[in-house]
A and B are shown apart, each in its own frame.
Chain A
Amino acid sequence: MTLRSSDPILDVRDLKVAIRTDDGLAKILDGVDLSIGRGEIVGVVGESGCGKTTLVRSILGTLPRTARVEDGEILFEGQDLLTLSDRDMTRDIRGKRISFIPQDPYLAFNPVFKVGTQLLEIMRWHGPNRLGGKSKGGAGSARDRDRKRLVELLRFVQVPDPESCLERCPHQFSGGQRQRLLIAGALACDPGLVIADEPTTALDVTTQLQILKLLKGLADEFGVSMLFVTHDFGVVAQLCDKVSVMYAGQSVEFGSTADCLNNPRHPYTQKLIACHPDRSDDLAGIPGTVPSPVVPPSGCRFHPRCDKAMPDCALRKPDTTLVGPDHRVDCVLYQDRPPSRSAQVPHHV
Chain B
Amino acid sequence: MSEATPILELRDIVTLYGGQRRFLRAPRPPVRAVNGVSLNLYRGEILGLVGESGCGKTTLGRTILGIQRESEGEIYLDGKPVHDLPPREARQKRLDIQYVHQDPGAALDPWWSIGRSLHEGLVINGVSSLAEREEKIDRVLDAVGLGPDFKRRYPHELSGGQLRRIGLARILVLSPRIVVLDEPTSGLDLSVQATVLLLFRDLRERLGLTYVFISHDLSVVQRMCDRVAIMYLGKVVEIAGKDQIYNRPTHPYTRALLSAAPRLQPGQVMDDSLISGEPPSPSAVPSGCAYRTRCPYAEAACGEQVPPMESAADGHQVACLRWRELPDHVPTDAHTDSQSRGAASVGGT
Contact = CB atoms under 8 A, between A and B. Distances in A.
B189 A48 contact: yes
B218 to A, nearest CB: 7
Given A210-B272, A277-B223, A289-B159, A257 B191 contact: no
B265 A237 contact: yes
Nearest to A216: B270
Given A204-B216, A289-B159, A232 B257 contact: no
B275 A210 contact: yes
A209 B276 CA distance: 11
B266 A261 contact: yes
Contacts of B134: none
A209 to B, nearest CB: 4
B194 A280 contact: yes
A6 B260 CA distance: 34
Contacts of A237: 262-268
Contact of A47 (B191, B222, B261, B275): B191
Contacts of A232: 262
A282 B339 CA distance: 12
Nearest to A286: B191
Contacts of B278: 174, 176-177, 206-207
A209 B261 CA distance: 8
A283 interface: yes
A262 B263 CA distance: 13
A206 B257 contact: yes
A177 B262 CA distance: 20
A67 interface: no
Contacts, number: 128
Interface residues of A, number: 44
Interface in B298-349: 334, 338-339, 341, 343
B222 A277 contact: yes
A284 interface: yes
Contacts of A271: 191
B82 interface: no
A286 B195 CA distance: 8
A323 interface: no
Contacts of B265: 237, 261, 278
A235 interface: yes
Interface string B204-237: 0000000000001111101110000000000000
A278 B263 contact: yes
Contacts of B12: none
B247 interface: no
A213 B222 contact: no
B198 interface: yes
B52 interface: yes
B144 interface: no
B270 A213 contact: yes
A272 B266 CA distance: 16
Instruction: Identify which of B190, B264, B268, B334 gathers the most chain A CB atoms within 10 Å of its CB.
Output: B190
Given A279-B264, A289-B159, A284 B275 contact: no
B198 A234 contact: no
Contacts of B339: 279
A208 B223 CA distance: 22
A252 to B, nearest CB: 14
A258 interface: yes
Contacts of B216: 204-205
Contacts of B259: 209
Given A47-B189, A209-B275, A283-B197, A276 B260 contact: no
Nearest to B334: A278
Contacts of A165: none
B270 A212 contact: yes
A237 B197 CA distance: 23
B190 A272 contact: yes
B7 interface: no
Nearest to A213: B270
B219 A277 contact: yes
Contacts of B191: 47, 271-272, 275, 285-286
A283 B338 contact: no
Contact of A276 (B53, B219, B341): B219
A216 B262 CA distance: 15
A70 B216 CA distance: 42
A158 B315 CA distance: 41
A65 B5 CA distance: 63
Contact of A205 (B193, B195, B262): B262
Given A48-B189, A205-B260, A273-B264, A279 B270 contact: no
9 contacts: A205-B52, A261-B265, A275-B194, A277-B194, A278-B222, A279-B264, A285-B192, A285-B194, A286-B194
5 residue pairs, one from A and one from B, having the closest CB atoms: A234-B262, A285-B195, A277-B223, A47-B189, A209-B260
Interface of A: 47-48, 174, 176-177, 204-210, 212-213, 216, 231-235, 237-239, 256-258, 261-262, 271-273, 275-286, 289
Interface of B: 52-53, 159-160, 189-195, 197-198, 201, 216-220, 222-224, 256-257, 259-268, 270, 272, 275, 278-279, 334, 338-339, 341, 343
Given A237-B265, A258-B343, 17 more contacts: A47-B192, A174-B278, A204-B279, A205-B216, A205-B262, A206-B257, A209-B270, A233-B190, A237-B263, A258-B267, A262-B343, A271-B191, A278-B219, A284-B194, A284-B198, A285-B191, A286-B191
